[in-house]
Amino acid sequence: MTIQELREKRAKAWDTARDFLDSKRNASGLLSEEDGKTYDAMEQQIVDLGKEIDRLERQEKLAREMSAATTTPVVTTPGTHIDTPETPSTATAEYSKAFWNNVRNRNFADVRNALQIGEDTEGGYLVPDEFEKKLIAALEEENVFRPLATRIQTAHGDRKIPVITQKGEAVWMEEEEAYSLSDDAFGQIALSAYKVGTAIKISEELLNDSVFDLPSYIAKEFARRIGTKEEEAFLIGDGKGKPTGIFAATGGAENGATTAGTAITFDDMIELFYSLKSPYRKKAVWVLNEQTVKALRKVKDSNGQYIWQPSVTTGVPDTILNRPYVTSVYAPTPDAGSKAIAFGDFSYYWIADRQGRSLKRLNELFAMNGQIGFLASQRVDGKLILPEAVKTLTIKGTSTAKV
């Protein structure tokens, strides 16, 4: 079944579920226990179809990358001098070969000079450039928040981000009246480099097996472990030894609305929607938990139309109030006192990656078990540099969750 057919099937399943909701709700707008179970099964089918669509789209993207040309055609006159930019030392084939030979512990004495290029003060080695690109791509696939944010690279120290904290304004003037000064006020936000790392164990047999794709395995594991911790911090991190999250009580997004009751209504969503200034709404995205999406699928606007709408066109995302959304397990659930939804332009959340991910080999620690350990780490920070660019919706009530 094609992606388009799956999209159409999901749209029909949503129409069926929507009609079922409309016909089974009682006078108070609720479903009976039996009808609730029936609707939950319908909704689960919609969710499963959505996941299958996402899976097939990722496969198509991978297929296009694999079928792309691996060489560049000659388009210039033979003999014409072409200035080739200097290749970074970590991007050379020599460095890449040396790096992976060292990881596999082959001919260590022969590769030491090549690895000297990327040796760091802690005894690790900077990964070669083509592997770092693979890591970045994998991190973005594992981390749903990274593609929404602005990413920068820092070489060392804190990165100071200048921010306008107060804007000047013009005034009406009488003829020949003196101009009044109205200066902008500036502040700074510092992006640091917090360390996140993981230890990986690999058997000696796999390391010595030339058929085993060691770079892909390490990249995938690195992405899975580091990516999930990053996403958690970018959403709910408290800024203590980790990035400051969007939903953080201090340093996070501004609260745009609070629900009138414990359930999210259309009026609450409209209040949140318009709490965000118009310029930010043009590129705004919803970030929320799947449990919140489930609740919003039952919410109607003032015209009786459901505010959640599935997409039937490839490349066009599902929407809530005609704006796309992203779900994360780390976004708070819609419990009393929690910030359940973030809405805004997340390009104003900046992620600072310290250049170079480090990979360190441990030869002796797991030797008795016939295994080799690897320490993979990177330094990263993230902050919302303009709080008014993102707004949150708080559920009425007192939160019992730990801060």
Task: List the domain boundaries for the chain.
Answer: 125-164+184-289+328-403
For residue 329, pLDDT beyond 90: yes
Can you give the C-alpha Rg of the chain in angstroms? Answer: 26
Q: Which is higher by pLDDT, 168 or 381? A: 381
Q: Is the pLDDT of residue 148 over 90?
A: yes
In the chain, the N- to C-terminal Cα span, in Å, equals 46
Q: Where would I find the H helices in 68-104?
A: 93-103
Question: What class does CATH assign to 125-164+184-289+328-403?
Answer: alpha beta
Please say if the pLDDT value at position 115 is more than 70: no
What pLDDT digit, counting tens, does each position of 186-228 carry? 566 778 888 998 888 888 777 776 566 777 777 788 888 888 9
Element (H, E) at 76: none
Contacts of 187 (CB under 8 A, 6+ apart): 162, 163, 164, 165
- On the question of pLDDT at 287 being above 90, the answer is yes
Asked whether the CA dihedral 284, 290, 292, 293 is positive or negative, the reply is: positive
pLDDT at 306 (0 to 100): 94
Task: Output the pLDDT for position 117.
Answer: 44
SS3 200: strand
Burial 166-183 (b: 16+ CB within 10 A, else e): eeeeeeeeeeeeeeeeee
Query: Do β-strands 349-354 and 150-154 pair in parallel, antiparallel, or remain unpaired?
Result: parallel
